[in-house]
Chains A and B, each alone.
Chain A
Amino acid sequence: MTRVFISADAASLALGSRRIHALVLQEASRRGVEVDIVTTGSRGLFWLEPLVEVETPEGRIAYGPLEPTDISGLFDAGFLDGPPHPLRLGHIEEQPYLAKQTRLTFARCGIVDPLSLDDYRAHGGYAGLQGALLLAPQVIVDEVRLSGLRGRGGAGFPTGIKWDTVLNVEADQKYIVCNADEGDSGTFADRLLMEGDPFTLIEGMTIAGLAVGATKGFIYIRSEYLHAYRTVNRAIEIATAGGYLGSSICGSGRAFTLETRLGAGAYICGEETSLLESLEGKRGMVRAKPPLPALRGLFGKPTVVNNVLSLASVPWILAHGGKAYAEFGMGRSRGTLPVQLAGNVKRGGIIELAFGTTLREIIEEFGGGTATGRPFRAVQVGGPLGAYLPASMLDLPLDYEALASAKGLLGHGGIVVFDDSVDLSQQARFAFEFCAAESCGKCTPCRVGAVRGVEVMDRIIAGIEPEKNFEVLEDLCTLMTDASLCAMGGLTPVPVMSALTHFPEDFDKLPRLSVVAE
């Protein structure tokens, strides 16, 4: 029976892949041909979704983006043999968008059945865990340290050092917590991975458990990601039934179990201490640090809190060695970064590349310019707390330090493109509005500062006493940066000040611009 692959990730569903799935089945049955549809995650080339691939002797042949009205014609052309057709893309791997990538973390995404252990193993899955089971905990930690892996959630803290801290503290119980509260606008890599290759995350967490001596893990998934939540839950059941989770992982006598928890619509719960509070069943109020979660985390026990992508990088590192991973990248940013290209761009999707690629390559070569066809104006890098950058800064390399020195941040690797219809003063206002809506309220600079920020931006936009109000704005931003308890209040000034610095013309009527810009 011919196998046909169709993505069921949330974005593909949003673009109509379920209907395509049903129509392929219907059309096949009408013609009396048999097809076996394999539901996969997405390859992450969203302008081509809904995409179908058909397995032929020459490999998988892709067609897309498909409209419901295309299916009948596709079958007329002899779909199951991979025939010529206006929407035929050929081998998807040969698309420049994919061919130019270095897919380590996303190597299997869109290719395998996300819920098939056989598929997972056939594509190199669980090689890392098999290796780790033979190693002493400190050796696993050292391998991760050697890889140079840094937290992919945004903070960029070295994963190996975090693990080392947890390993070397005595406790009757330790935890691995996966932060899958991917709330930054413009990011979707965690979602894509959980929907397309959840065993990679499960394997990474299991290795983390072995490395630090934790027997229990939690995956905290945001409630907006119900599809991912369901897939991960199924994958945990399957991995448990397969002996990869439970009281004796692969018969080793070592235990690791996993549970999921669903968030409830609070951006702040992506902050690690707020996430821990939420996992404990409380309001997601940020905790003061110290103590670090590595020493006193979930339920007061030593806890590794890592982002989905950090944990999902670990199986590759254990399978191929930390040194091999560290050979990718630049400076102190080692390995690969799954960039998420989104917003007003022709070819949005996931682009996994070694650190060091420039924004220009991402936006122009991969992205193909704006979706509307209007001139490019700005890009926001790193989510709602990231900087707005102008065209003149597109030669910045994607690297933690390079972005930081440009007064921006890399964050979770989300890139949102805007055309020339954007008004950066409105975006600055929105940064405060968002902070006001999502602040946990524990510290005053964030709770009150965000509200004051909206007010002052409203006055600036209305042209009321601009000189005085720019002074207030600057003062407010300094205060929030210096005195907020966590990154929510502390980084909200980043989009605001970057908008003001790089796009002063949008703030209109501004005699004091040069002063404010500094």
Chain B
Amino acid sequence: MPRSTSWDGTRASEIIAAQASLDGAALPILHVLQDEFGYIADEALPLVADALNLSRAEIHGIITFYHDFRQEPAGQHVLKLCRAEACQSMGGNKVAEAFLALLGIGWGETTPDGCLTVEGVYCLGLCACAPAALYDGEPLGRLGSDALVGLVQEVRGL
């Protein structure tokens, strides 16, 4: 799951070449790059642009349009907390705000020790077990403050 490995142009070129023949290859390429490196490095832009015969500006435009794509590495772990209506109806906002206050960070930020990035998302399709979240891609439901605090302790090895 979330991890960052250092930039490797050769590896990136291989990844891009493997996807480039797909119809509408840009998103598949960007997803695989992010899976591999943890984010989409600036160095990747010209490579993707070349492979797809697009300008770097167009690739930049695609990356920045979609919330998923990062241009900087995330923390070691990523918690995506749902902020949409079904989770609001179960007090998700309060749980989230208290949690962020406890960590001392805002939405989209990473804890100073680099352990955890917390992002807001709109709906995970887990609306019948709200409030919900994805922790490193694994779904969590009926979240209370205790569960989140427990999660942080686990992350920090406490």
Partners in one complex: yes
Contacts A46-B129, A265-B66, A283-B65; A224 near B25 (Cβ below 8 A): no
Question: Which of the four size classes fits the interface of chain B?
Answer: 35 or more
Could you tell me if A299 and B68 are in contact, using CB atoms closer than 8 angstroms? Answer: no
In the complex the two chains form, what is the Cα distance from A188 to B125 in whole Å?
A: 5
A-B contact pairs, 8 of them (CB 8 A): A14-B141, A184-B123, A185-B87, A186-B86, A191-B125, A261-B28, A263-B66, A265-B121
Count chain A CB atoms within 10 A of each CB in B121, B125, B137, B141 and give the residue with the most.
B125
Could you tell me if B125 and A264 are in contact, using CB atoms closer than 8 angstroms? Answer: no
- Set B68, B86, B91, B134: member contacting A264, Cβ < 8 A: B68
- Among B112-135, those with CB < 8 Å from A are 121-130, 132, 134
Complex interface: chain B residues within 8 A of A430 (CB): 85, 88
Complex interface: chain B residues within 8 A of A187 (CB): 123, 125, 127
Complex interface: chain A residues within 8 A of B134 (CB): 224
In the complex the two chains form, what is the Cα distance from A47 to B88 in whole Å?
A: 18
Binding site for A on B (CB under 8 A): 22-28, 30-31, 52, 61-62, 65-69, 80, 82, 84-91, 121-130, 132, 134, 137-142
Could you tell me if B128 and A340 are in contact, using CB atoms closer than 8 angstroms? Answer: yes
Give min CB distance, B33 to chain A, whole Å. Answer: 12
The 3 closest A-B pairs by CB, nearest first: A348-B128, A14-B141, A281-B26
Give min CB distance, A416 to chain B, whole Å. Answer: 5
Complex interface: chain A residues within 8 A of B86 (CB): 185-186, 342-343, 414, 416
In the complex the two chains form, what is the Cα distance from A73 to B22 in whole Å?
A: 52
Could you tell me if A10 and B27 are in contact, using CB atoms closer than 8 angstroms? Answer: no
Give min CB distance, B127 to chain A, whole Å. Answer: 3
Task: How many A-B residue pairs have C-beta atoms within 8 angstroms? Tell me.
Answer: 158
Query: How many residues belonging to A are interface residues under a CB distance threshold of 8 Å?
Result: 64
A223 at the interface (CB under 8 A from B): yes
Could you tell me if B24 and A261 are in contact, using CB atoms closer than 8 angstroms? Answer: yes
Could you tell me if B125 and A283 are in contact, using CB atoms closer than 8 angstroms? Answer: no
Contacts A11-B139, A186-B86, A416-B85; A343 near B127 (Cβ below 8 A): yes
Could you tell me if A261 and B27 are in contact, using CB atoms closer than 8 angstroms? Answer: yes
Could you tell me if A278 and B27 are in contact, using CB atoms closer than 8 angstroms? Answer: yes
User: Which chain A residue lies CB-closest to B52?
Assistant: A281
Could you tell me if B137 and A281 are in contact, using CB atoms closer than 8 angstroms? Answer: no
